[in-house]
Structure 1
Amino acid sequence: MSSRSKRLGISLLTGLVLSGVAVTAMADDTLELSNSIYALSKPPEPQGGEWDFWRFAVGAGVVSMPTFPGARDTKVDGLPILSAGYGRWFIGANPDAGSLVSAGAYLYHDDHWRAGVAVTYDFLEPRQESDDPHLRGLGDVKRTTHAEAFGVFTYDWFEARSSVISDIGGNQRGTVVTLDAMGAWEATEQWSFSAGPGVTWGSSQYNRTFFGVDATQSARSGLAPYSLGSGVNEVRVTVGAAYRPTSHWVLGADITAAWLENDAGDSPIVQKKNQMSYGLIATYLFF
């Protein structure tokens, strides 16, 4: 493997494995934890056949997040990190797909753009009635399979990414569109920092599933009936840091402050509009 390809592998895998801090928001449909992982290291610079080598990663992380979207209380979950990629193909954790459980391919990549498609599955349970007494009578929000299209633009210290994620498992999860922008600063060869804003738009089905209360749910839970349509349901700001003591080890951490907006924020299910989430991860890279 050439030295340039090796550098590419380190950069790609660093972003790939740190995705474990963020993915619960996107594929698992809990609140946004972070997208800072997309800017914690220099973005990959794929050049034609230079992606034609194997990339592997293994690690673990821990996240603290709201018990459910809009919850007052928090929960802590462990995250296993397993990933593999060859050329344009990938499986397992991937930052651009934003999932711990994914399989997909890059359809286009150059010095500044990456675009691809993936099939993902929820690793974490989105919401269970047993999570909180406030949810009694609302039923569970089930895990599902998603189809996703994503695009990423990078230039120097700046990165922007967007994704469209749709439920194809028939579990009334609808469609989510995310947009995030990040600025990165490499303080040293080992330390990287990032920060930036993001926003999430949900389809009417998605918003009804997570924030709506139909007549049956109202009768069972005692919450007032509540109907809402499509629209922006969250804005957020994230800061993150990554430490690479060696070329193989990556340690990452981030904090996200999110605010439920518009009709989603006014839902009787929501106990607290402002939500805080935290993530820590350690990963070993093979290349």
Structure 2
Amino acid sequence: MIDVSKPLVMKVVAGSALSMFAVAAMADDTLGLSESLYSIGAPEITQAPAANASPWHFSVGGGVVNMPKFPGSSGTKWEAVPTVSASYDRFFIGANPDAASLLSLGAYLYRDSNWRIGAAVTYDFIQPRSESDDSRLRGLGDVKRTAHAELFGVYTYQFISARASVLTDIAGNDRGTVATFDLMGRYQPIPQLTLTAGPGLTWASSKYNETYFGVTSEQSARSGLPTFSAGSGLNQLRFSINGAYRIATHWNVGASVSLAWLRGDASDSPITEKTSQITYGLFANYLF
């Protein structure tokens, strides 16, 4: 078990560290990648903050992740990701697992021993999609990084955590809105080792699906792919398996594997080569 003598805020930061691997916010839009962030690091909340606890907490680390070159790709690429975060009482900046982002600025609107509800502005760390990523993307144009407004909520009861979020593009880069839900079970065979696993799903707006999976007449002429109009609906089902090991008081290492299956128009798109997607990675973090 995580040391219950530590305050709640430190545990949230620890969760951040444990998860800060993988991640991108919805961001890079490898949806599986962004949700791995939460599933690795869902923090264990066991008590309220100690009266004399410092309101400041920090995490520094990084990791490497293998992810699809683009949503629906049959090829993969490696990315190195930093995991730096700071929190002051209910406010946070940088990597945060509840916001499922490496780059976030936000606050918890409500917290108790079971609930964490918050709002954040996040920004994509990894370029979502570039024509240069793969020959199949030639003529489709790049999908730009953007800023998102997010509302998220996490409910934890004993060894089960449920997380839901709504994320929408606020910078006008045609990224639309996505809503996610994940359910994770936690098991600790020894005090230092935490294992989590569970299913999740993502709903995407027509704007989001059109940007990633639609093919306009102009894009069709440039790329040779047939035209395709993508509507809103269930975009992805996934299952994540994660492990985090506390090797010392302030050090954590871990690994994550996320298996995702594109659904609806995302699976029917002529851009999509492979409907099953795998994202995995390794990370290490120092907490102080």
TM-score, length of structure 2 as denominator length: 0.94
- Aligned residue for 2:102, secondary structure, equals coil
Q: What does 1:81-230 correspond to in 2, within 5 Å?
A: 81-230=83-232
Structure 2 residue 46 is the aligned partner of structure 1 residue 36 = no
Task: Name the CA shift for 1:38/1:45 in 2 (closer, same or farther; >3 Å).
Answer: farther
CA RMSD of aligned residues (A): 1.7
The letter for the 1-side match of 2:32 is E
AA at the equivalent of 1:132: D
Partner residue in 2 for 1:17: 17
Query: What is the CA–CA distance in structure 1 between the aligned matches of 2:69 and 2:131, rounded to whole Å?
Result: 11
In the TM superposition, residue 217 of structure 1 has moved relative to its aligned partner by 0.4
**What's the offset of the Cα at 1:13?**
1.8
SS in structure 2 of the partner of residue 216 of structure 1: helix
Q: Quick one: distance in 2 between partners of 1:271 and 1:226?
A: 15
Residue 28 (structure 1) shift: 2.4
* Contact 1:49 1:87 (C-alpha < 8 Å) held by counterparts: no
Identity rate, percent:
56
Unaligned runs of 5+ in 1: none
1:27 and 2:30 matched: no
Q: Report the Cα distance in structure 1 between the residues aligned to 2:47 and 2:170, rounded to whole angstroms.
A: 32
Provide closer, same or farther for how the CA distance between residues 144 and 258 of structure 1 changes in structure 2, counting only shifts above 3 A: same
Kindly state the Cα deviation for residue 247 of structure 1 after the two structures are TM-superposed: 1.7
Using the TM superposition, give the Cα deviation of residue 262 of structure 1 relative to its aligned residue in structure 2, in angstroms: 1.2
Kept in 1, the 8 Å contact 2:72–2:273? The answer is: yes
2:220 and 2:54 mapped to 1: Cα distance?
55
Match of 1:68 in 2: 70
Cα deviation for residue 23 of structure 1 reads 2.4
- Corresponding pairs, count: 283
Give the letter for the 1:12 counterpart.
V
| Structure 2: stretches of 5+ with no match in the other structure | none
After superposition, what is the alpha-carbon deviation per residue over 1:58-115, rounded to whole angstroms, capped at 9, x for unaligned? 0010000000000010000001111000100000000111111110000001110010
Q: Which amino acid aligns with 1:13?
A: V
3-state SS in 2 of match to 1:11: helix
Q: Deviations over 1:29-73 (max 9, x none)?
A: 12313232244x523644596876111010010000000000010
Q: How far does the alpha carbon of each residue in 1:114-168 deviate from its partner, in whole angstroms, 9 at most, with x for none?
A: 1010001000000000100000000000000110000000000000001100000
1:244 to partner: Cα distance: 0.1
